[in-house]
Amino acid sequence: MSQPSTIVILGFGSLMESLLPCCYSLLKTSDPQQLAKSIYAVKGSTQGLSQKQSQYPFPITAANNLQVLEEVHPDVILFSPPPAKARELCETVLLPYYQALRQQNQPLPLLITFPPTPLPRYYRQILGKDAIQATLLPCVVQRAGSYTVGHLGYSLLALDGRNFPDQQRMQWLQNFTRPVGNLLFPAQDDLIACLAGMVTAHNVYELCFTLEEAFSYTQEPLSLPEIAAAMRRELRRFAPELIPADDPQAPECTGTQSPLYEEIVGHTLRGWYEGLCLFAAEKKLDLQDYGSFLRSTLDVLLMTVQTETQETLQHLSAGCATKGGLLEQALLSFAQKVAHPLSHWVLEDIAETSQDCIAERQENESWAVQLVSLAQQVAEDVFARGNHLE
């Protein structure tokens, strides 16, 4: 079989809706008539079911995971329950289905899982050594306004080192992940650390919000799009792999009219990035690959700040911040540890410059170093939460 003909989605929530382009890429079609015969989705509950059924051309049901698997016999299963329910559903739905397939001498499907835990080895241990599974944590952003930007970012793909997909299924994985950017292949024991860095990069939203509020108290306020554009410009000073500032694939990124504000924005972006790199080094991650991953992740996140309102961005964060999850921890830690000090440092920096207090300002520039430490602390908090998801 050169390509799969059927996909079953277990856990058809907002994440899987955003990844439907990946399904189309895997199936090599977006024709509604073909999709109606190729994709079968199951929600965890009946809430919002009728709305989704009217929105998509393929069948969508609720709370009948095993029944759909037994009726469809899919080539690919997309497994996306809440992390807290992943083990239960694996053992009560996937395991009996796999056992039945073996009894019937049927081929096992490719299983792509989306909860960060349990790790890939768990699925091999529960479903059997012949189970082909991959854990995918997709790029944090798929669209920025009218721009499709997921392919400009990075996704995390973790495999169990004892059971790699064969050539055909690896090709399926590549086809599925094409819309969500480059792939970083962390070892499964590094997955939570990589994810913690990805999630803490998401705090670039809060960095922009904090700077905008601080600048609003001055005579030269900057808008969120201006701050984000200046941050993307700063990124390009040390990230040659990113698309050019004027590339039509994404919003244009330019600097500010104020050298002081340009410097403050640059210090903020670099401080956060360097803090995440220190976190990665402490976790013994490959900094060459991880650095590119972080820079691209920050860039696509900043594209959304350029193109969306603060209310929309906050709504996006709230929608991703599941209760007890990593992003919820990142938002909490930022609010507790970073927001007030950063605002204070920025306003103090501007005041000293306006008063021509050069000596005091040079002494106060240590705030950028302190921000590095705070970024590392937030990433550590997120990492600790990730290790307790189960």
Where residue 106 falls (left for φ over 0; alpha for ψ -120 to 50; beta otherwise) is: beta
**pLDDT per residue as tens digits for the range 214-241:** 999 988 899 999 999 999 999 999 999 9
> Residue range 41-53: average pLDDT?
96
pLDDT at site 7: 98
pLDDT at site 49: 97
Confidence bin at 357 (pLDDT 50/70/90):
low
Q: Which two tokens stand for residue 370?
A: 């302190």
Rounded Cα distance between 134 and 121, Å, is 10
Instruction: Tell the residue number behind the tokens 């059997």, with chain if given.
Output: 128
Q: Closest Cα partner for 387 from 160, 83, 90, 141?
A: 83
Contact 198, 156 (CB under 8 A): yes
185, pLDDT greater than 90 = yes
CATH of 7-185, one of 3.10.20.600, 3.40.50.720, 3.30.70.360, 1.10.150.530: 3.40.50.720
pLDDT at site 268: 97
C-beta atoms surrounding 72 within 10 Å: 17
Confidence bin at 103 (pLDDT 50/70/90):
very high
**pLDDT per residue as tens digits for the range 306-334:** 999 999 998 877 666 666 789 999 999 99
C-beta atoms surrounding 250 within 10 Å: 24
Contact 223, 254 (CB under 8 A): no
pLDDT at site 3: 86
The helix or strand, by DSSP H or E, that contains position 173, with its residue range, turns out to be helix 167-177
* Number of residues that this document lists for the chain: 390
Per mean pLDDT, which range of 118-122, 250-254, 295-299 is the poorest? 250-254
Q: Closest Cα partner for 113 from 173, 202, 185?
A: 173
Contact 270, 375 (CB under 8 A): no
359, pLDDT greater than 60 = no
Q: Is the peptide bond before 59 cis (omega within 30 degrees of 0)?
A: no
> Residue range 30-56: average pLDDT?
97
Instruction: Tell the residue number behind the tokens 């793909």, with chain if given.
Output: 157
Q: Closest Cα partner for 185 from 201, 200, 169, 173?
A: 173
Q: What percent of the chain has pLDDT over 70?
A: 95
Q: What angle do CA 8, 127, 325 make, to 5 degrees?
A: 70
361, pLDDT greater than 50 = no
Q: Closest Cα partner for 227 from 240, 216, 211, 239?
A: 211
Strand runs labelled E in the chain: 7-10, 39-43, 60-62, 76-79, 110-113, 132-137, 143-144, 147-148, 154-159, 182-184
pLDDT at site 354: 62
Mean pLDDT of the residues in the chain: 93
278, pLDDT greater than 80 = yes
Confidence bin at 14 (pLDDT 50/70/90):
confident
pLDDT at site 351: 85
Strand runs labelled E in 39-195: 39-43, 60-62, 76-79, 110-113, 132-137, 143-144, 147-148, 154-159, 182-184
User: DSSP secondary structure string, 259-278?
Assistant: HHHHHHHHHHHHHHHHHHHH
C-beta atoms surrounding 62 within 10 Å: 17
Cβ-proximal residues to 12 (8 Å cutoff; 6+ apart), any chain: 41, 42, 43, 52, 60, 80
> Residue range 267-287: average pLDDT?
97
Contact 11, 80 (CB under 8 A): yes
More confident residue, 71 or 256: 71
163, pLDDT greater than 90 = no
Confidence bin at 1 (pLDDT 50/70/90):
low
Q: Closest Cα partner for 385 from 139, 134, 192, 104?
A: 192
More confident residue, 97 or 359: 97
- Which residues partner with 154 through β-bridges? 182
Q: Residues spanned by CATH 3.40.50.720 within the chain?
A: 7-185
